[in-house]
């Protein structure tokens, strides 16, 4: 596979289309939310609709959901890391392309999946 076959923009490592990070896990591991740096810095005068935006609910209480609490908490941790993981993978792919290497197809597919350009399998 050549770099021309990669479905990845060689000119940029930017991946867009989702709420930017950082994301954090809420108390008890029940949800993942967007951390607005301006709000976290204490500027309460900002009227930002993304303030306290819940990204994902990892709800269900053990026996009621069929998902053990430790698995639910691990799911929340993975979701919270998603923007950082995607950004790192995009940066790595862009670096590989700039240096003349081929981006592994699994990495291209993962980026496309995260950006909603391909159906999840």
Q: Where are the alpha helices (DSSP H) in 3-114?
A: 37-40, 69-98, 105-114
Cα distances (angstroms) measured from residue 73 to each of 1, 19, 65, 66 = 38, 21, 13, 14
Rounded Cα distance, 11 and 69, in Å:
42
What span, in angstroms and rounded, lies between the C-alpha atoms of 32 and 35? 9
Count CB atoms within 10 A of the CB of residue 32.
Answer: 23
What are the φ/ψ torsions at residue 120 (nearest 5 degrees)?
A: -70, 140
pLDDT per residue over 15-52, tens digit each?
557 777 788 888 777 778 888 766 655 555 444 444 56
User: Looking at residue 2, what is its pLDDT?
Assistant: 47
DSSP 8: S
Which pLDDT belongs to residue 10?
Answer: 39
Q: What are the sequence ranges of the domains in the chain?
A: 3-114
pLDDT digits (tens, 9 = 90+) for 45-104: 444 444 567 888 876 655 566 778 788 888 889 999 999 999 999 999 999 999 999 999
The conformation of residue 15, written as its DSSP 8-state character, comes to -
Q: Which pLDDT score is estimated for 47? A: 46
């Amino acid at each position: 596979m050549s770099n021309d076959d990669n479905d990845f923009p060689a000119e940029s490592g930017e991946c867009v289309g989702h709420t930017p990070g950082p994301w954090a896990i809420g108390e008890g591991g029940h949800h993942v939310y967007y951390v607005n740096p301006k709000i976290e810095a204490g500027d309460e005068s900002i009227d930002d609709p993304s303030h306290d935006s819940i990204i994902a609910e990892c709800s269900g209480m053990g026996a009621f959901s069929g998902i053990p609490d430790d698995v639910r908490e691990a799911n929340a941790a993975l979701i919270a890391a998603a923007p950082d993981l995607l950004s790192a993978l995009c940066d790595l792919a862009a670096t590989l392309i700039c240096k003349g290497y081929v981006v592994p197809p699994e990495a291209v597919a993962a980026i496309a999946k995260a950006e909603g350009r391909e159906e999840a399998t």
